[in-house]
Amino acid sequence: MSFEKQREEIITLCKKLLTESEVDTVVGFQEGGVEGMALPYIFTDPSDVEALVWNDRCIPHLSRYLIGRKGKTAIIAKPCDVRAVVALTVEKQLKREDIHIIGLACDGMKDLKGEPLPSCATCKVNRPPVADSLIDDPDVKPKVGKEKQPPPEGEALSRFEGELEKCILCFACRQACYACYCNTCFMDRGMPNWQPTNPDKGAKMVYHIGRAMHLAGRCVECGACDNACASGVDLHYVTCELTDFVEETYDYRAGMNPDEEPALLTYESTDREVGFWGGDGHE
């Protein structure tokens, strides 16, 4: 199967869902973005669904468009979108009965050079863990993802500081992130109506470390933060390190199981105490 064949199946299904009033809207993609990137679009009329696109430039993350939407909504969902929907449902931001997940087998999105996006290159989930309708593709093979190479010991801080040098503290990563749905961000509380034109390293560290901790055990590794950054900051690797740490320590990965409570919302007396105190911890 190809993107085009998947698209044909998606269009047929969406027309049926809208015509038979099984859903009120469909959140999907249309053409029109810069450099060929697809744009999010809300379909309400079955006759408009022919304009829906599905290709390797459907990069935008769609789950945020479900929050606050009235009626029942179908979403054209890559595996990372599905994981975000699951996570938002677990966090009580969405009602599962209001969402029809059209899950897609996905081999990853591409940049302008035809190369996999960084988050797609390391992705290990190319089929949705949950779906009401599955648009599969037998040509999409199970992935193991590229092994992430940690920096040599002692270089982790210098790498992080190097990434911060690029940051202009525009908050685009926050605005793109599915998990940053707070009405008032911790960075905006008590903030004056002006900001320095050249924020210092301390301010950037507070923001990025604080945000990373807020995403610990919640990040679905979609790469929306990287894709939104105009300065080329690679902070996806930070949240991915935390994601791996939470999985290794608590056997939990966000968005994979709607019946599983997030690791950082639970406490057991047998939880391992590792990370902050160093060493191997204890059971």
pLDDT of residue 283: 45
Do 255 and 221 contact (CB within 8 A), yes or no? no
Mean pLDDT of 81-103: 96
* Per-residue burial over 182-212, b = 16 or more CB atoms within 10 Å of its CB, e = otherwise: eeebeeeeeeeeeeeeebeeeebeebbeebb
| Residue 42 clears pLDDT 70, i.e. is over it | yes
Identify whether 258 is part of a domain. yes
> Do residues 129 and 163 share a domain?
no
* DSSP string across 63-89: GGGGTT--S-EEEEE-HHHHHHHHHHH
Distance from the Cα of residue 68 to its chain's centroid: 18
Residue type, 13: L
pLDDT of residue 115: 94
| Residue 108 clears pLDDT 50, i.e. is over it | yes
pLDDT digits (tens, 9 = 90+) for 4-31: 999 999 999 999 999 999 999 999 999 9
pLDDT of residue 147: 58
> Do residues 109 and 182 share a domain?
no
User: Is the model more confident about 166 or about 141?
Assistant: 166
Identify whether 281 is part of a domain. no
pLDDT of residue 282: 47
Within 8 A by CB and 6+ apart from 119, the residues are 80, 221, 222, 223, 226, 227, 236
| Residue 275 clears pLDDT 70, i.e. is over it | no
Residue 35: which domain range? 3-135
103: enclosing H helix or E strand: strand 99-104
> Do residues 35 and 108 share a domain?
yes
pTM comes to: 0.88
CA angle 22, 27, 29 (to 5 degrees): 135
For residues 211 and 76, give the distance between their C-alpha atoms in angstroms, rounded to a whole number. 28
pLDDT digits (tens, 9 = 90+) for 184-239: 888 777 666 555 667 788 889 889 998 988 998 999 999 999 999 989 998 888 88
pLDDT digits (tens, 9 = 90+) for 264-273: 888 777 777 7
Residue type, 131: A
Round the average pLDDT of the chain to a whole number and report it: 87
> Do residues 106 and 176 share a domain?
no
